Every structure is written in C-alpha cells, then in structure tokens.
Amino acid sequence: DPTENDLINTANNFGNQFDQLTAEAKAAMDNTIPLSKVTDDSLKATRAVRDFKAAGTQGILECKIKSIIIPLLG
C-alpha cells in the first residue's frame, strides 16, 4: 500500500535518530558534549516515537492506514 511508504520512512528515520543519539551519548561520556543536551535530545526523540505510534494506532483504528495489521503499535 503506497500510503505506508511515509510510515515506513518515518520509522526508519527514528532508527537513524536513535543511532545518532547513541553516538551523542558516547560523546557525552567523553565530555565532548553536555549530558543535558543528550538527555533533552533523547526525551524529544522518545516523545516523537510515542506520538508516531499513537498516530499509527489511530490511523489503523479509523481505517486511514490500509494494511492488514492489528492495532498493537500504541
């Protein structure tokens, strides 16, 4: 279903974002960036994943996402 392409791309972007956050956390351990920045970035990314999952669940329940999946995202 072509409508899923955006969802797949968004999910892949989250994976890339968390890879970057892991690198930032390692750099923070080496004191090259402030730990508070890593914490703030991680919190923002986590909230974005939460919102994405909630929107996906809502889209499935409202039949806006046309796929054969059950609404277990949220």
Global pTM reads 0.62
| pLDDT reading at 1 higher than 70 | no
- The whole-number pLDDT of residue 70 equals 61
Give the pLDDT confidence of 6-17 residue by residue, as tens digits: 888 888 898 999
Average pLDDT over residues 51-66: 84
Residues 6+ apart with CB under 8 A from 73: 53, 54, 56, 57, 60
| Angle formed at CA 41 by CA 6 and CA 34, multiple of 5 degrees | 155
The whole-number pLDDT of residue 72 equals: 57
**Predicted confidence band of residue 4 (pLDDT cuts 50, 70, 90):** confident
